[in-house]
Amino acid sequence: MRASSTLGKHEDALMAPAEKHPKGLYILFATEMWERFSFYTMLAMLVLYLRDAQQGFGWTEATAIRVYSWYQMCVYASPLIGGWLADRMLGVGRSIMVGALFFIAGHILMAFPSETILYLALGCLVTGNGFFKPNISALVGSQYPPGSALRDAAYNIFYMGINIGAFLAPVVAEFVMQRLGFHIAFAVAAVGMLFSLGIFWRWKRDVVGIDRGARGAQQTSAVDPADAADPMAAIPDRTRIFALLVVFAVVIVFWMVFHQNGSTLTYWADDNTDWQSWGFQVSGVISNAINPFFIITLSLPLVAFWRWLGRRGIEPSTPSKIFIGMLLTGASCLVLYAAALAGGDTGRVSPLWLIGAYALISVGELCLSPMGLSLVSKVAPARMKSMMMGGWFVATALGNKLTAIGVYWKVWSHSLFFLVLALMALATAAVLFFLLKPLKKAMPGA
């Protein structure tokens, strides 16, 4: 769903830390949690706001989804530029604060009902994300000395903070929007970002590596003496690049399907989910809290499950976990396909259908997304690490642009729409299945 963690080969570090985490980790945890709260407060409401004829602009679903897809693509591509500027000009600390200020400006501008201001607001949010995201993530690793066993656990703790913010955002947005309207709810997102900036500003001196460029912090924290014995060193560069290109292709399809959560699934939750049967008077905004809830509650049990399999020597490899993730992604769409049929495509159905689909795709996310950047860092040839890291972000951005398939939401029946997504995810899983053996050879130890 969100920034990557390292829920992969080193899960033991999360379960049994032997050292003490530095204060800087908790400062970054709180900073990122409030930033994600602000980001997802806005995103949970965006497509419903654009469609709303009274408070918004009365756009069609297709027009709103086009804007959403471009925005999401730019959000995931912007760290490439923001990271470069931090490396060469601003440094990590200043980049994070500049990003926070752009975020605050963007959220405040969203509170004004003007199409011109809307695009200015989205531009500010994209810019803010570009400065903020790559640098705060790089700082997490810089809190630990080379070879620290706690670094993997740190990223998992950080990932939990992301999802706590992402869970709280739609809940608060729903509450405020129902009582005070969209525009005040957008302003609440700015308040969340003020908390984020305030925490970072107050305790930034306790964050290690704050005055270094992002690249310097990453290089300092990533050097591990054990790398010299890395079995990956025996694999030819072209083989490793091919393996990563396969992973990038899978990532494109996964994010295309997954990030329907902020567009077509929000419309489904608003128009076709019978919340009243459960006694709730809510909009589709609230549905955006379901995925982060499952990420928070299922992360540790899944870690424990992988460890249980690992002790028996049957833990799946990283490529196999990615395959499982795509299977579950396809299965989640099949659940929604069945739900659409049960509702006659236009009627309302029990929230259990939507919750069940989110449960499946959330486990799929945990099988696929958290290993991403860690996998790239392990597999990419040393001379191409930065380029391949950029490739990961480009693949993610392309997947988010392809969420524009949602323009067919009202052209096709809902059941056909979900079936198409399911077939695309399952076809990707099938191709990946036939490539598992060469991928495992290309990624020894992954």
pTM: 0.89
Question: How many domains does the structure of the chain reveal?
Answer: 1
Q: Which amino acid is at 330?
A: G
Tallying the residues shown for the chain, one arrives at 446
* Residue of 275, 9, 279 whose CA lies nearest to 156: 9
Sorting pLDDT into bands at 50, 70 and 90, what band is 61?
very high
Residue 368: CA atoms inside 13 Å, Cβ hemisphere, count? 32
d(C-alpha 110, C-alpha 182), whole Å? 9
- Average pLDDT score over residue span 414-431: 98
pLDDT band at residue 202 using 50, 70 and 90 as cut-offs: very high
Give the residue-averaged pLDDT of 108-117. Answer: 95
pLDDT of 254 above 70? yes
Residue 108 forms part of a structural domain = yes
Q: Quick check: is 95 in a domain?
A: yes
Among candidates 236, 308, 405, which has minimal Cα distance to 12?
308
> pLDDT tens, 348-387?
999 999 999 999 999 999 998 876 766 776 788 877 776 7
More confident residue, 16 or 91: 91
Which pLDDT tens digit goes with each residue over 114-129?
Answer: 999 999 999 999 999 9
What CA–CA distance (Å, rounded) separates 322 from 379?
Answer: 15
pLDDT tens by residue, 289-348: 999 999 999 988 988 898 899 899 998 988 899 999 999 999 999 999 999 999 999 999
SS3 34: helix
What band does 228 get if pLDDT is binned at 50, 70 and 90?
low
Q: How far is CA 252 from the centre of its chain?
A: 13
| Residue 276 belongs to a domain | yes
- Whether the pLDDT of residue 216 is over 80: the answer is no
Position 232 pLDDT exceeds 60: yes
- Domain containing residue 396: 12-223+233-442
Per-residue confidence (pLDDT) for residue 19, from 0 to 100: 67
What percent of the chain has pLDDT above 70?
Answer: 89
User: Which residues fall within 8 angstroms of residue 313, CB to CB, at 6 or more apart?
Assistant: none
- Alpha carbon distance 216, 386 (integer Å): 13
CA–CA dist 174, 184 (Å, integer) = 11
CA 258, CA 237: separation in Å to the nearest integer?
Answer: 31
Lowest mean pLDDT among 218-227, 365-374, 413-422: 218-227
Identify which has the larger pLDDT, 49 or 224: 49
Judge whether 368 lies within some domain: yes
Q: How many CA atoms lie within 13 A of 423 on its CB side?
A: 6
92-109 vs 182-203: helix crossing angle, rounded to 10: 160
CB 65 within 8 A of CB 410: no
Using the predicted structure, report yes or no on whether residue 246 has a pLDDT greater than 70: yes
Sign, CA torsion 295/299/305/311: positive
Residue 273's DSSP bridge partners are 349
3-class DSSP assignment, residue 17: coil
Burial class (CB in 10 A: 0-12, 13-18, 19+), 232: middle
Residue 5: inside a domain, yes or no? Answer: no
Residue-wise DSSP of 396-441: HHHHHHGGGGGGGTTTS-HHHHHHHHHHHHHHHHHHHHHTHHHHHH
Classified as helix, coil or strand, 141 is helix
- Residue 211: predicted pLDDT: 65
State residue 50's pLDDT score: 98
Whole-angstrom distance, CA of residue 73 vs CA of residue 31? 24
pLDDT tens, residue by residue, 10-49: 445 444 445 688 899 999 999 999 999 999 999 999 999 9
Separation CA 115–CA 123 (nearest Å): 13
Distance in angstroms (rounded) separating the CA atoms of residues 445 and 253: 25
Identify the pLDDT of residue 56: 97
What's the mean pLDDT in 265-284?
97
pLDDT score at 8? 47
pLDDT band, very low/low/confident/very high, at 147 (cuts 50, 70, 90): low
What value does the mean pLDDT take over residues 92-111?
95
% the chain with pLDDT above 90:
64
Least confident stretch, 63-77, 175-189, 367-381? 367-381
CB contact at 8 A, 222 and 148: no
Residue 349 DSSP label: B
Name residue 349's beta-bridge partners.
273
Give the C-alpha separation, 128 to 376, whole Å.
Answer: 25
Give pLDDT, residue 168: 98
Average pLDDT score over residue span 250-256: 96
Q: Is the CA virtual torsion 340, 342, 345, 347 positive or negative?
A: negative
Q: What is the CATH number of the domain that holds 426?
A: 1.20.1250.20
Specify if 313 maps to a domain. Answer: yes
Indicate whether 1 belongs to any domain: no
C-alpha span between 378 and 446 (Å, rounded): 8
